[in-house]
Amino acid sequence: MADQEITLMKGNEAIAHAAIRCGCDGYFGYPITPQSEVLETLAAEKPWETTGMVVLQAESEVSSINMVYGGASTGKRVMTSSSSPGVSLMQEGISYMAGAELPALIVDVMRGGPGLGTIQPSQSDYFQACKGGGHGDYHLIVLAPASVQEMADFVDLAFTLAFRYRNPAMILADGAIGQMMEKVVLPPFKPRRTEEEIIKECPWATTGRVGGRKPNIITSLELRSEEMEVINLRIQAKYREIEEKEVRFEEFMLDDADYAIVAFGSAARIAKKSIEIARSQGIKVGLLRPITLWPFPTKEVQKLAGQVKGILSLEINAGQMVEDIRLAVEGRVPVRHFGRLGGIIPDPDEVVEALKRSF
């Protein structure tokens, strides 16, 4: 396959191909709808025969995330993927990785909850992804792809950010983006890093004591409270830096907008169509699409509050991101929420109706 070839594939398949191409060292996962194509595609591509990437189906999600912890401790580019109930099982391991400051990629292709819920698309894990689904004061860097192309592009981006800040990153997609097929140009092949490169890039990793250096210890445990506070403060300072430097978003038809929709992932795609319909009826509305859900584009939402008469948070959930919007807006303009639940995706007409009803 030529590097720049345009091809047609599902979002889940794009994740797998992009992982192989961006020098991923290992994937550890357990199948669950609607993301099973990630593991299936990796198994079909057999990257262990080409790039040497390890692909392993673990016995459970708990096991997968702890394999990721182990791989990440050695400075390798490792990842897992799952869907909502599976990601709930991983929360302990994710919190441990945030505490031990380990870079890794977790892909969540969300389905309707709570509990086992449905297998259809949902965005109801926003809180879990962005507010710390496990225990302790931590954040993941959360990227929300809205196309199959972004599913492919965000794999390398997530690894880059994860290693830059020594923090786990998450791609928060949903069943619609995972299952739909679109055009995609896969990223060019990048070789896996050599052991020497890993030692140079990750001086903290457990790569073996070469040249008599001090032992590297990977742990989230520190029983002395004073020391633990210092660690927490250092992690918090890192989070402030990420909030300052890594916010990503897209603006669409906001220049003359009287109203704004804020939406991420597949909801943002629906919003674009709704905006087309609403504008044909004379309603000037635009879209702000957070690409990073954490760090959240707070400043951009604040700016919107000075421009528009109202903001609609379109989410395929019962209203989660709307809280972050309201915090940013500080009551200056009305902020409403619209969403469907349990695996139902709102259609563009419904969104236009919700917009009219809200303001």
List of residues contacting another protein (CB under 8 A): 6-8, 33-34, 119-120, 175-176, 179-183, 266, 269-274, 276, 345-350
Query: Is 182:8 a contact under the CB 8 Å cutoff?
Result: yes
Closer to another protein by CB, 8 or 233: give it: 8
Tokens representing residue 14 in the block = 């794009």
Phi, psi torsion values for 311, nearest 5 degrees: -125, 130
Residues 6+ apart with CB under 8 A from 284: 256, 257, 258, 259
Min. distance of Cβ 46 from another protein in angstroms? 16
Q: Are the C-beta atoms of 160 and 186 separated by less than 8 Å?
A: no
Neighbours of 6 (CB within 10 A): 9
- For residue 68, the surrounding DSSP H or E stretch is helix 61-73
Number of alpha carbons in the 13 Å side-chain half-sphere of residue 232? 12
Of the pair 58, 119, the CB lying nearest another protein is at 119
Closer residue to another protein in complex, CB, 66/124: 124
* In the complex, minimum distance from the CB of residue 118 to another protein, in angstroms, rounded to a whole number: 9
Nearest distance, CB of residue 232 and another protein, angstroms: 42
Contacting residues for 97 by C-beta, under 8 A, at least 6 apart: 65, 68, 69, 72, 104, 168, 220
Question: Angle, nearest 10°, between helix axes 265-280 and 348-358?
Answer: 70
Q: Which two tokens stand for residue 196?
A: 């020497």
CB nearer to another protein: give 29 or 112.
112
Shortest Å, Cβ 268 to another protein: 9
**246 vs 350, beta carbon nearer another protein:** 350
Distance in Å, CB of 316 to another protein, minimum: 10
Q: Which is nearer to another protein, 36 or 128 (CB)?
A: 36
In the bound state with another protein, the residue whose beta carbon lies nearer, of 7 and 160, is: 7
Contact present, 311 and 333 (Cβ < 8 Å) = yes
Taking the least distance from each CB to another protein, the nearer of 142 and 352 is 352
Which lies closer to another protein via its Cβ, residue 63 or residue 179? 179
Q: How far is the CB of 321 from another protein (least distance, A)?
A: 19
Residues near 323 by beta carbon (within 8 Å), at least 6 away in sequence = none
Are residues 124 and 318 in contact, defined by beta-carbon separation less than 8 angstroms? Answer: yes
What's the CA angle centered on 235, arms 231 and 240, to 5 degrees?
145
Q: Which of 313, 301, 297 has the alpha carbon at shortest distance from 262? A: 313
Element (H, E) at 99: helix 91-99
For 331, the 3-state DSSP assignment is coil
- Using left for φ > 0, alpha for ψ between -120 and 50, and beta otherwise, residue 347 falls in beta
State the minimum distance, in angstroms, from the CB of residue 266 to another protein: 7
Q: How far is the CB of 158 from another protein (least distance, A)?
A: 23
Min dist. Cβ of residue 16 to another protein (A): 18
